[in-house]
Amino acid sequence: MVMAKSLTIAKVSNHIPEDLAFSVLYKLPLKSLKRFGCVSKTWSLLFQNPNFLSKFRNNFISIPHSYYNDTSLLLNQVMYNHNNSQVYSSMHSLFGEKYENRLKLEFPNPFQQEDPFFNILCCGSITGILCLSQHDKVILWNQTTDEFKVIPPSSAESSVPPHWDAFTFVYGFGYDHVSDDYKIIRDVSFYEITDQNRLPSDVQWEDVWSTSQTYYEPLWEIYSLRCNSWRKIDVDIPRDWEVSAENGLFMDGICHWFSSCKNNGEDEHFLVSFDLTNEVSFATLIPLDLDIDVNEKCNLVERQLIMLNGSIASISWYLHTSIFHISVLGELGVKESWTKLFVFGPLPYIEYPIGAGKNGHIFFSKKDGGPPVYFDLITQMIEELGGVKGAHYSQVIIYKENLLSIGGINH
């Protein structure tokens, strides 16, 4: 009798009411939830439960994340004329609850240009140092102290004959806390000049043809601010020429960017992650998170990498549409840990995302070229950035102030 009673108590104590379990589970990190899916069938289907998904999303967005401590938003814009040449570029720091306060910033001008313009790598901006590029030139800029440093060329760029061009592409930038160093990773490829008018004056066209069988292998390089030099690294990283230099992230010593390749004739998309300390890379496959539509099956899938409340996220959409899908990565290297949390749209007059802020704000450019807008994932409302002009190209960047002197590292 006593034994039967104790077994009954044990059985009751092992049962957790579903509503109580949900009230705990929706507050857990995505990585933990994915792992707990093996506990029961109900838990494995949590994200198919609309009630649970709604609670998890709201909690995910509303809880402040340390990633955004002491940060502000930078809005970079470029306007072109009908000849597709640059008319002006501008950068503003945005702050305030609805980004109503703006401060115009001036780009550094190391080359004494009339209107300097640089591509800005989103990757690493959270460190307080911005990595800027202009053609084959790279500049590090501390916007807080207005100090900049022009990065020297590498020996690889000058190792080929004068009738060859070196093409460089920066993929990542960030801070290595182990060596207390800022690093840049880039790809270098070489192309033979086939236009006679572009040849240096001391090179004869006949000499070019006599060496036309020569081929120079592409390579990967890493720059160390502490050493102020580039060096070749032996890594197996796929090269994707469709990747955007602005579409990258840096978090916890690792640079991330999107890439793709062909596998059995099919496009395979994945997240490339490069550890700045160990100088190794690994990939996380990305599933097709869009709803398959027979009307869109021939349309191109667009993706952008964003940081969503301190988590790596992918926002994807079919080209020329305005329905957006956001999936969040729970664990690096695990394809199954991508979880679709948000689907919204169609959004009228919206063209494509230009970045993400905190509090679940996703920024977009407009089809009519008007001022950028942001979409609030919680309220599902669209707000326009007041007092900001429209532009042909806009980019929103998370930036953290840093009073460290660039020269303090480079010594």
Where is 35: in which H helix or E strand?
helix 30-35
Q: What confidence score (pLDDT) does residue 224 get?
A: 96
Segment of 241-245, 322-326, 365-369, 402-406 carrying the highest mean pLDDT: 322-326
Residue 29: pLDDT above 60?
Answer: yes
Q: Judging by DSSP bridges, how do beta strands 164-176 and 181-192 pair with one another?
A: antiparallel
pTM: 0.86
**Rounded mean pLDDT of 47-64?**
85
Q: What confidence score (pLDDT) does residue 84 get?
A: 67
Q: SS3 of 10, please?
A: helix
Burial of 186-223, coded b for 16+ CB within 10 Å and e otherwise, reads: bbbebeebeeeeebeeeeeeeebeeeeeeebeebbbbb
Q: What confidence score (pLDDT) does residue 298 get?
A: 52
Q: Which residue has the higher pLDDT, 331 or 215?
A: 331
Confidence of residue 81 (pLDDT cuts 50, 70, 90): confident
Residue 257: pLDDT above 60?
Answer: yes
Q: What confidence score (pLDDT) does residue 266 get?
A: 72
Determine the Cα–Cα distance for residues 363 and 382; give it in Å rounded to an integer: 9
Q: Which residue has the higher pLDDT, 269 or 138?
A: 138
Q: Which token pair is 147?
A: 């100090």
User: Residues 6 or more apart from 309 whose CB is under 8 A from it?
Assistant: 60, 61, 63, 65, 67, 358, 359, 360
**Rounded mean pLDDT of 83-109?**
82
pLDDT tens, residue by residue, 206-219: 566 555 567 788 99
Residue 232: pLDDT above 60?
Answer: yes
Q: Compute the radius of gyration of the chain from its Cα atoms.
A: 25
Where is 153: in which H helix or E strand?
none
Residue 284: pLDDT above 70?
Answer: yes
Q: What confidence score (pLDDT) does residue 8 get?
A: 46
| Average model confidence (pLDDT) across the chain | 83
Residue 9: pLDDT above 50?
Answer: no
pLDDT tens, residue by residue, 130-189: 999 887 889 999 999 999 999 999 998 888 777 678 888 899 999 999 999 999 999 998
Determine the Cα–Cα distance for residues 310 and 69; give it in Å rounded to an integer: 11
